[in-house]
Chains A and B, each alone.
Chain A
Amino acid sequence: NAGVTQTPKFQVLKTGQSMTLQCAQDMNHNSMYWYRQDPGMGLRLIYYSASEGTTDKGEVPNGYNVSRLNKREFSLRLESAAPSQTSVYFCATQSGRVNEQYFGPGTRLTVT
C-alpha cells in the first residue's frame, strides 16, 4: 500500500500562475485534509473534506480551492499564485475521529 501520495514533490511558480496539487490515498479513509507548513508556525489547515462530496474551509482558505474528486483523491488548486503561498503543503487522511491522521510526504512550492 502506498498510503498517502502527493504530486508533485517540488514546484516553482511565477506570480500569477496557477497549478493543482494532487493527493491520493489507498487507505479507504473518509476524511482528507490540506495543510500548509511555514517556519515557526506549525501546520495550518487550508481546507478539509469530512467525507466524499463535502468540503469545508479551514483556517487559511483564501487563494485556494479544493475538489474531492472521489473517496481516494483530494486536490488543491492555486488559481493565481502569490509569493505568500510559498510553503510546504501536506495532505492528510483520517478514517474516523478516534483515529490518527496520516500524512503524505509534502509538496514544496516556491512562488517567485
Chain B
Amino acid sequence: KQEVTQIPAALSVPEGENLVLNCSFTDSAIYNLQWFRQDPGKGLTSLLLIQSSQREQTSGRLNASLDKSSGRSTLYIAASQPGDSATYLCAQETSNDYKLSFGAGTTVTVRA
C-alpha cells in the first residue's frame, strides 16, 4: 500500500516569504502527482498535476517539482499572501489503478 507523507502538518510564515511544502511517497510506480488546496469547510481545488514523465509544473506563483528517484514532490509558492492561507494536500496515483492516495496535508497560515 502506497503511503504519502506531508511534513510539517502546519506552517506559519510572514507575508511575502516563499513557501516550500514537502510531499513524500513510497511507491516508485507513480503515474502522476497532484497538489490540491482546501479552504476550511470546502472541497478540494486542484492546483497542479505532474505526470511521471515530467519534472515540474508551473502556474503563476506556484511551482511543483517531482523527483521519482527520491520519492519526493515539492510545492513552491512565491511571495506568499494572506489569501494563500489554506491546507495543501498532495496525492499520488500509481500506474496500475485509478486511485489517488492522499497525504494528510500541510495547513499554511500567512501572517499579514
Contacts and interface: CB of A to CB of B under 8 A. Distances in A.
Interface in B77-103: 89, 91, 93, 98-100, 102-103
Contact of A103 (B4, B9, B43, B99): B43
A12 B99 CA distance: 29
Nearest to B44: A103
Contacts of B34: 100-101
A42 B4 contact: yes
B32 A43 contact: no
Size class of the contact patch on chain A: 20 to 34
A94 B32 CA distance: 13
A97 B93 contact: yes
Contact of B104 (A35, A41, A99, A100): A41
Given A45-B100, A101-B34, A105-B42, 5 more contacts: A48-B98, A90-B43, A97-B31, A103-B44, A104-B43
A101 B32 CA distance: 12
B48 to A, nearest CB: 9
A2 interface: no
Given A90-B44, A103-B44, A42 B49 contact: no
B51 interface: yes
7 contacts: A42-B4, A43-B44, A44-B102, A50-B98, A59-B99, A100-B49, A103-B44
Interface of B: 4, 9, 31-32, 34, 36, 41-46, 49, 51, 89, 91, 93, 98-100, 102-105
Contacts of A104: 43
B10 to A, nearest CB: 11
Interface in A49-89: 50, 58-59
B51 A98 contact: yes
A79 to B, nearest CB: 23
A42 B103 contact: yes
Contacts of A4: 43
